[in-house]
Structure 1
Amino acid sequence: MTPSATDRPGYVAAGDALRALAALAVVLFHAEQGVAYGLGDPYRGDPGAVSPLGPLLAQGSAGVWVFFALSGYLVGGPWVRALLDGTPRPQTAGYLSRRLRRIVPAFWVVLALVLVRFGTYDHDGLQVLRLFAFAQNTGTAQLDGVLPQGWTLGCELAFYLALPVLAAVLAATVLRGAPGPRRRAAVVGGGVALVTVASLAFNGHDPAGDWSLTILATAWAFTPGLLLAACEGRLRPWLAAHRTAGRALALLLLAGAAAVLAGLALSSPRVPPLRVEYLHATMGGGLLAGALLWQWAAGSVPGVVESRAAHALGRWSYGIYLVHIAAGRELRRHLPSGLGVSTQLWINVAGMVAGSVVAAAILWWLVEEPALRRRRPYLRPRW
């Protein structure tokens, strides 16, 4: 890894590794859930009844919150730094074009294939259109049967669309003229804090309501990444000058994230769902913060994080996330009857991981990379 890449603001050297870890963790979570729900009571709701490792697999849903924290830093970072530094904000048209090309084409392709293969789950035409509009969890009918993980992508898209609007409002009202660095930092920090508090209040007020899986109730999960982007300018030089302390702090954050995971696995399923959600988000923010602090302090990351496998799985992570539930459904259709619970679980885990990775690699080659590079799928990119 070149020093210039490591020093570039907004660059996460461990980004692909974190994406891969998050996507595969969600696959493991849904592999355990698929077996538990297929068997019914007493397995449903009690991961320990499926396998001794079931409570650990059940914590894989934390991967969603890792994705949210990463989006806060990677996608929201340029807007935050522009507001803090008083520099021009990203061009809205180019920004939206990149974000839409990154998330929409692959989602539409996978959703269409799932509808053809598994049906509409009794949804009517308007409800299917809501699915394609990333709005499956807005309103009174939550359409989570076809692509259950689609609610997170609706939150992601709403976050992408909200960033330029919020940045423009702050720049046009509070940050008019040429305010100093302290005022800019106070305004940006106050704005992030306000969004966090309002979103947490909304989420806690009605955690199982009709809008609980929308950006209104999940915006707080993006703010750890926004705060890291806001602190980067001051924190990075200090860490570079105090490398030992910086690495120790990074290891402490990573150890804390691992401790949260272990604690939840040992106490499952006694922890209330809303508290699990908050702890998972804390764990996701801790992983991202630990990875960034290590990078800023050491100037590099361990070689395993920069391996070819980590980069490949990171590139395919969105596809893995999109296809893994469909891969599990297809696998369970062909499982022979009479298998033991443990056998079902590990066949499901191995099959979903392998099938999702292969399908995601194909999806990247045929859909995602061409959409990002604006070329036809059968043309090789020009390097």
Structure 2
Amino acid sequence: MLPPMRRMRYLEAGDAIRGWGVLLVVIGHSGTTALLYSLLNGDPAELLRRQQTQDLGFERLFDSRQAGAAILATQLVVFLFFALSAYLLARPFIAAMFGEAKQAPKLRTYARHRLGRVVPLFWTVILITIVLFGTDGSRTIDIAAVFLFSQTWTAAPFNQNILQAWTMNVEMAFYIALPIIAAASAWIYLRGGRFAGWYALLPMTALAVFAWIFANTWLPTTTVPSQSVIGGLLTFIPGILIAVADVRWGDRLGRWRPAPLAAAGLVVFGVLLAFKQSSLAEGGSVGERNIITIAAGAMLAGFVLWQLTGRKTWPFMMWRFPRWVGERSFSIYLMHGIALFQLQSVGSDQDTVGKQFLVLVLAAIPVSIFYGAILYALVEQPSTRLARGERPLFGGGPVRRIGSRAPTVGTTPTPAMAGAVPLAPTGSAPPAPGAPPAPDVPDGDGRAGGAGSVGAQGTDGAAGGVAGGIAGADAPGDRTPAGTDR
């Protein structure tokens, strides 16, 4: 067992979640690409209808509804990136509000890390897309909307060349909303009296209601409701709730006897719900998004609860390859769309669309990883270091290679880990409103973060720096598919 004080300083499964997740995203989108390519020679109106409704007939891949549902279930990953971003980024604010950290992340530092983490990488991918595929006659204002994280509000032809970027729009909306909600919750908590902790959830509840009501509002016909920026804010709620439970009741949950079984059950439930969602809701609908949001939240809760018990994460989450991919998942997520665009005809000479899909997957995974690794080394890693105030090419933080173990809760803290915001023991009682402040501890800037969420990720965070998630922990994004995104 690990000491309670260090249990949740880092989410041990963070990188592997992103690593396995972004590979599943590539597999799922390979299925989408193969199905769309098979429709190119058919009725254009039918192709457009299937694109807009996301009803591509995944059962056609192997003439099996079950196989199609399994491949379609990979879209769960993007929402898992969103939940992971919310958990890692919200936890420092929540810990500060309940007295387990000296102070909340400074707004200037938070903004610098978020913008430095996302903007250079995203803009680079947009420029690469323009160079390779042009603008398809889109207006300048439509191209500017993509750069300004607003492409889901327009119906420009260029958007079809960078479809995966819708997650970045949702991630950026969450980045803006988080400090506002955190400040409002802290203000209520300090004045809430006996039920201050419950009252502090009101701003988040208001955000969820707003996202639910206006999920379908102001959307062009080319944006399906499940990709709505406003409605997408709802997908971050599970991660925030998990962070609240971790900070308030983490120690108690870790000692709960059925916790290991419950953790495994939550992960299995999330996977099964994602598998079933294609028969429960129409593709691209609000209902589909809500079901997948619940599934993603259940999976993340399972991973967090397992670590709260003091156990090491499952062996397949400790393998070097998925952790290495996870560090680069934000870049891989953003580049996999370009890779699939270039490879869309690969396997088209096969006699079935299922075989075409398999050939495309075998080509898309290594190409996406190759493109993403280059972008990570040339853009993502340097810009992230620069945002932290480090030298962009030879930063002060440790540079992990594929053969080295990621820093986890069971290792000796590295200099970057030591710079994270120190937390009190998990589950310690929060001070009552008006009580003296917690003892001073060294300031931290969350430097443990690293690669990708889809974003969105959503999108980021190498090894998932919980206490210092501001530097990089979201969706492929920050990931994951960062937006991450992913």
Do they fold alike, i.e. is TM over 0.5?
yes
Unaligned ranges ≥5, structure 2? 51-55, 399-486
**Which stretch shows the higher mean deviation, 22-31 or 50-59?**
50-59
Distance 1:226 1:347 in 2: 39
Q: Does 1:127 align with 2:142?
A: yes
Q: How far does the alpha carbon of each residue in 1:342-375 deviate from its partner, in whole angstroms, 9 at most, with x for none?
A: 2311111111111111111111111111111126
Q: Does 1:253 align with 2:253?
A: no
Q: How far does the alpha carbon of each residue in 1:258-283 deviate from its partner, in whole angstroms, 9 at most, with x for none?
A: 22133236x38877833222221111
Tell me what 1:232 maps to.
246
**Which stretch shows the higher mean deviation, 45-54 or 78-87?**
78-87
TM-score (norm 1): 0.88
Give the length in aligned residue pairs.
377
Distance 1:270 1:92 in 2: 40
**Which stretch shows the higher mean deviation, 152-161 or 183-192?**
183-192
Change (3 A) 1:176 1:19: same
**Are the counterparts in 2 of residues 82 and 88 from structure 1 also a CA contact under 8 Å?**
yes
Change (3 A) 1:111 1:124: same
Distance 1:108 1:118 in 2: 15
Tell me what 1:18 maps to.
17
Change (3 A) 1:5 1:370: farther
Q: Which one has the bigger helix percentage?
A: 1
Name the SS for the 1:253 alignment partner.
helix
- The alpha carbon displacement at 1:150 in A equals 0.9
Distance 1:226 1:88 in 2: 18
Q: Does 1:262 align with 2:261?
A: no
Tell me what 1:35 maps to.
34
Aligned to 1:68, which of 82, 99, 122? 82
Distance 2:362 2:138 in 1: 31
Please show how residues 315-334 of structure 1 align to structure 2 within 5 Å: 315-333=327-345
Change (3 A) 1:287 1:132: same
Distance 1:311 1:271 in 2: 31
Tell me what 2:71 maps to.
57
Q: How far does the alpha carbon of each residue in 1:95-140 deviate from its partner, in whole angstroms, 9 at most, with x for none?
A: 1111112111111111111110011122122211111111111256
Name the SS for the 2:203 alignment partner.
helix
**Which stretch shows the higher mean deviation, 99-108 or 188-197?**
188-197
Aligned to 1:168, which of 183, 193, 204? 183
**Are the counterparts in 2 of residues 239 and 245 from structure 1 also a CA contact under 8 Å?**
no
- The alpha carbon displacement at 1:327 in A equals 0.3
Q: Does 1:241 align with 2:255?
A: yes
**Are the counterparts in 2 of residues 139 and 211 from structure 1 also a CA contact under 8 Å?**
no
Change (3 A) 1:382 1:301: closer
Change (3 A) 1:204 1:247: farther
- The alpha carbon displacement at 1:50 in A equals 2.3
Change (3 A) 1:238 1:270: same
Distance 1:77 1:380 in 2: 26
TM-score (norm 2): 0.70
Tell me what 1:82 maps to.
96
Q: How far does the alpha carbon of each residue in 1:147-174 deviate from its partner, in whole angstroms, 9 at most, with x for none?
A: 10111111111211222223334445x3
**Are the counterparts in 2 of residues 189 and 227 from structure 1 also a CA contact under 8 Å?**
no
Change (3 A) 1:167 1:326: same
Aligned to 1:360, which of 372, 384, 399? 372
Q: State the percentage of identical aligned residues.
A: 26
